[in-house]
Amino acid sequence: MSSRLTLILILLAVVVVTLSSSIFVVDERQKVLLLRLGQIEKADFKPGIHFKTPFVTDVRKFDGREMALDAQPARYLTGEKKNVIVDSFIIWRINDVATYFRSMGGDEDRAASRLSQIIKDGLRAEFGRKTIQEVVSGDRVAMVQDILKDANRVAEGFGISISNVRIKRIDLPAEVSSSVYTRMEAERERVAKELRSQGAEEAEKIRSDADRQRAVIIAEAKRQAEELRGEGDAKATEIYAKAYGKNEEFYSLYRRLSAYKNIFNADDMLVIEPKGDFFKRFNDAELPVK
């Protein structure tokens, strides 16, 4: 009886082991390969429960999510033959798990090393076409897009897709920093002088135009004043003529008295003989009245 129980337990254990070896679960975040004696039998399983031949086939699982690779900072030469230190990282994922397994043996560290080298080659080529000023202040997004296109063409042969490359920091070596800052300062000073020169030129134009307008306005005002003065004199002459025509003796007396008032002030002393037409009224004993 005990021998039969032992046999049953052994058979149950064999069944359980066989069933557990025949079933595998694929998570939606995973890429799975089914290997038969080390050779790929099937790839790209959908998420869920799947069956395999026990003891003969093997299941390899890989992370199907996007992964970040923080590359080591490296030195690159710019188009001016100046060194810059670039710190970057890569976002990548397994695109074709079968190709990835054949090319990289399923080794993530090996894939990371190969990707790092691909991106370094792309950065080296891109930086070699640019100056330090373009590298530091240029459009990094456009530069990264060019690197991505070339890198994905190479990574496609490894079953890998690179979704992004980011440059975290660009540093200048100590020996380059001072010369770059001096050059940038000189460039900013040149631009400032040019702007000041343009401003002075515009200011001179504005002053010249203002002086011209001032001269035109003053000339026009003088012309109008002369016209008004002439009109006033003409009107006064007309009034004087009419007054003279009404009473010539009175008008003559009034004019002479006005002349005496303007000539003889309180502090003036003149010793003259009151003869002549100007002193006629002094010599008249009696003024005619009309």
Lowest mean pLDDT, pick from 10-14, 119-123, 211-215:
10-14
For residue 290, is pLDDT > 50?
Answer: no
Domains of the chain, first to last: 3-63 (no CATH), 67-172 (3.30.479.30)
For residue 74, is pLDDT > 50?
Answer: yes
Give the pLDDT of residue 15.
Answer: 61
Give the pLDDT of residue 70.
Answer: 87
Q: Which of 140, 35, 38 is nearest to 86 (CA)?
A: 140
For residue 282, is pLDDT > 60?
Answer: no
Lowest mean pLDDT, pick from 100-109, 124-133, 136-145, 211-220:
136-145
Helices marked H in the chain — which ranges? 2-22, 97-104, 108-127, 132-137, 140-155, 174-246, 248-263, 280-283
What are the b/e assignments for 5-16, b being 16+ CB within 10 Å?
A: eeeeeeeeeeee
For residue 131, is pLDDT > 50?
Answer: yes
Give 87's pLDDT tier (boundaries 50, 70, 90).
Answer: confident
Give the pLDDT of residue 196.
Answer: 92
Give 126's pLDDT tier (boundaries 50, 70, 90).
Answer: confident
Give the pLDDT of residue 14.
Answer: 62
Give the pLDDT of residue 206.
Answer: 92
Q: Give per-residue pLDDT as tens, 250-270.
A: 777 777 777 767 766 656 565
Give 238's pLDDT tier (boundaries 50, 70, 90).
Answer: confident
Q: Which of 37, 71, 64, 271 is nearest to 168 (CA)?
A: 71
pTM exceeding 0.85: no
Q: Reduce the DSSP state of residue 47 to 3 states and report it.
A: coil
Give the pLDDT of residue 256.
Answer: 72
Give the pLDDT of residue 97.
Answer: 87
Percentage of the chain exceeding pLDDT 90: 10
| Alpha-carbon distance values, 78 to 82, 85, 143, 242, 254 (Å) | 5, 11, 14, 99, 102
Cα–Cα distance measured from residue 96 to residue 106, given in angstroms and rounded to the nearest whole number: 12
